[in-house]
């Protein structure tokens, strides 16, 4: 019995399965992507009083990669300085757009205490455990809802995207 007719079929299935697992973000289902701190870009916009104050903004950009290290999209974010809490501690809120070839996920970060001053552009400032609410999407993510969680180390951030679509 010859395996020749079966071999192309097996190769095709193997490639299809590898392709499907490598691009889970192309469907509206939970997935993870990564951002390397060394390639993130940040800018600080000082509004009102000089130095950190209500209304200041921090604009962020980063390439997003999959576990294999391939660039699969990018992140555009804006962090806003809010009024301090009752104890005088600074608070920020944010909006983030995750752009992929087949769609966009938009999430908000409600007011929370940042890790560091909004003017510190060296690293991410949002608390890893801050609430992140997916409020919409487009393309394959049309009708998106869910949450985004972060896991950080010294060099990168993993975005764990628990998304579903209506």
* Domain spans of the chain, in order of start: 26-165
What's the burial of 72, exposed, middle or buried (CB within 10 Å: 0-12/13-18/19+)? Answer: buried
Residue 77 predicted with pLDDT over 70: yes
Q: Give Cα 72 to chain centroid, integer Å.
A: 12
pLDDT tier, 19 (very low <50, low <70, confident <90, very high otherwise): very low
- CATH annotation of 26-165: 2.40.480.10
* Average confidence (pLDDT) over 8-21: 42
pLDDT at 48: 84
Confidence (pTM):
0.83
pLDDT tier, 9 (very low <50, low <70, confident <90, very high otherwise): very low
Is the pLDDT higher at 9 or at 124?
124
Residue 15 predicted with pLDDT over 80: no
């Amino acid at each position: 019995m010859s395996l020749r007719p079966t071999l192309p079929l097996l190769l095709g299935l193997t490639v299809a399965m590898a392709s499907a697992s490598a691009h889970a973000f192309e469907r509206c289902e939970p997935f993870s992507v990564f951002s390397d701190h060394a390639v993130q870009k940040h800018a600080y916009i000082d509004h009102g009083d000089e130095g950190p104050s209500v209304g200041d903004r921090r604009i962020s950009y980063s390439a997003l990669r999959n576990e294999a290290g391939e660039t699969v999209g990018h992140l555009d974010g804006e962090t806003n300085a809010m009024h301090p809490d009752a104890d005088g501690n600074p608070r920020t809120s944010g909006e983030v757009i995750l752009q992929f070839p087949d769609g966009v996920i938009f999430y908000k970060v409600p007011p929370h205490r940042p890790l560091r001053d909004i003017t510190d552009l060296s690293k991410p400032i949002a608390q890893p455990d801050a609430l992140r609410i997916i409020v919409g999407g487009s393309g394959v993510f049309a009708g998106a809802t869910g949450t985004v969680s972060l896991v950080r180390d010294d060099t990168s951030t993993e975005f764990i995207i628990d998304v579903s679509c209506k």
